[in-house]
Amino acid sequence: MFHGCDKCNKLGALLLLLLGVVFVLQDLAVWNFWNISWYSAVFILMGVAHLGMGHCPECKDVQSTPVKKK
Total length of the chain = 70
Does residue 2 carry a pLDDT above 80?
Answer: no
pLDDT in tens, 44-69: 888 888 888 888 888 777 666 666 66
pLDDT in tens, 23-51: 888 888 777 767 778 888 888 888 888 88
Does some domain include residue 43? yes
Does some domain include residue 20? yes
- Of 27, 43, 45, 47, nearest to 35 (Cα)? 27
Return the axis-axis angle of helices 6-27 and 57-64, rounded to nearest 10°: 110
The total of structural domains in the chain comes to 1
**How large is the C-alpha radius of gyration of the chain?**
15
What range does the domain containing 49 cover? Answer: 6-63
pTM, two decimals, is 0.69
The helices-and-strands tally (H runs, E runs) of the chain is 3, 0
> Tell me, what amino acid is at 41?
A
DSSP code of residue 11? H
